[in-house]
Amino acid sequence: MLQNLKDIEQCTLHATDGDIGQVKDLYFDDHAWVVRYLIVDTGSWLSERKVLISPISIQKPDWPAHRLPAAITREQVQNSPDIDTDKPVSRQHEVQYLGYYGYPTYWGGAGMWGGGMFPMEMVPGYAGLQGGGAEREQAGKEFARAERARHPDDDPHLRSCKAVVGYHLHATDGEVGHVEGFLIDDETWAIRYLVVDTSNWWLGHQVLIAPQWVGGVHWLDRNVTVDLSREAVKAAPPYDPSTELDRPGETGLYTHYGRPPYWQAGATPKREI
């Protein structure tokens, strides 16, 4: 199911022994277009500290109740590596964070999450993985130390979803609107669409743009370029945020643009330019 960024930001993270806090933002990988971390405000119980929570920890969401259960404890969150969420997260910070929770690194594999497509496949013990508990945690910490030595200067290309909201969208022949939000797959945590408001170009509406059509996210200029014409975007099926986007609706969108859908092999996102 696809979830709007605004709906996810209304959710409370719930640990196995109580609430962690409310989602304030998401960090996404602008190479793979996948949400890598939720930024959670812990509120008064942890002195208003903001922490990172990986989708690897998230279990089946309860969207009607705006609750995201996480397979971690409040004590784990309290003792997690202190990361300044107002600054870019380095690869070294990521390795430290993942090692602390005993999770493998998500990069380097053929899938969105290591060698797979779903974050839960990276949970220790999933699908027959051996080890667990203290032994697994210690192995994770040792792996983290080795990875920090191997990747001291890597750029993980993590970006704030909130920061991109408002960026101008440039088609091949001119500006066409601005980014209003994102639609996110709640199983893979992949960003499936950018929600674009075209009203600042003409008396338009909201439309959807898939990451596969994005040529680049230009942080200094605060814009997103897409490999589409303004006329194609203008004539695209309008997006109604009050209506759930189903597969026939997605199929119609891809048919309009004459592009292969993401659920077919070979439809992969472009890298940033």
The pLDDT of residue 228? 95
In the chain, pLDDT over 90 holds for what percent of residues?
Answer: 61
Nearest residue to 182 (alpha-carbon basis) of 201, 197, 203: 197
Across 71-80, 121-130, 257-266, least confident range: 121-130
What is the C-alpha separation between 36 and 52, in angstroms, rounded? 9
User: Can you read off the two tokens belonging to residue 25?
Assistant: 């933002």
> Which position has the higher pLDDT, 269 or 122?
122
pLDDT confidence tier of residue 167, bands split at 50, 70 and 90 = very high
- Above 90 in pLDDT, residue 119? yes
- The pLDDT tens digits of the residues spanning 227-244 come to 999 999 999 999 999 999
- Average pLDDT taken over every residue of the chain: 85
Lowest mean pLDDT among 145-149, 154-158, 189-193: 145-149
Question: Which residues of the chain does CATH 3.90.50.10 include?
Answer: 165-257
Average pLDDT on 26-39 reads 93
Look at domain 2-159 and name its CATH class.
mainly beta
Q: Which CATH number fits domain 165-257: 2.40.50.100, 3.90.50.10, 3.40.718.10, 3.90.1180.10?
A: 3.90.50.10
Give the 3-state secondary structure of residue 192.
strand
Cα dihedral 73, 75, 104, 90, rounded to 10, equals 130
43-57, 83-97, 159-173, 248-262: lowest mean pLDDT where? Answer: 83-97
pTM for the complete prediction?
0.85
Q: How far is CA 228 from CA 31, 35, 210, 212, 257, in A?
A: 19, 24, 11, 11, 8
Least reliable range by pLDDT among 16-25, 149-158, 182-191: 149-158
State yes or no: pLDDT of 19 exceeds 50: yes
Considering only 114-123, 200-209, 245-254, which range has the smallest mean pLDDT? 200-209
Weakest mean pLDDT among 72-86, 168-182, 223-237 = 72-86
Model confidence at 140: pLDDT above 60 = no
Q: Which of 113-127, 149-163, 185-199 has the highest mean pLDDT?
A: 185-199
Domain with CATH 2.30.30.240 in the chain: 2-159
- pLDDT value for 87: 75
d(CA 144, CA 153): 15
At 201 the pLDDT is 78
pLDDT in tens, 78-97: 999 888 777 778 888 888 89
pLDDT at 212: 92
Q: Quick one: pLDDT band at residue 162, thresholds 50, 70, 90? A: very high
Contact 215, 171 (CB under 8 A): no
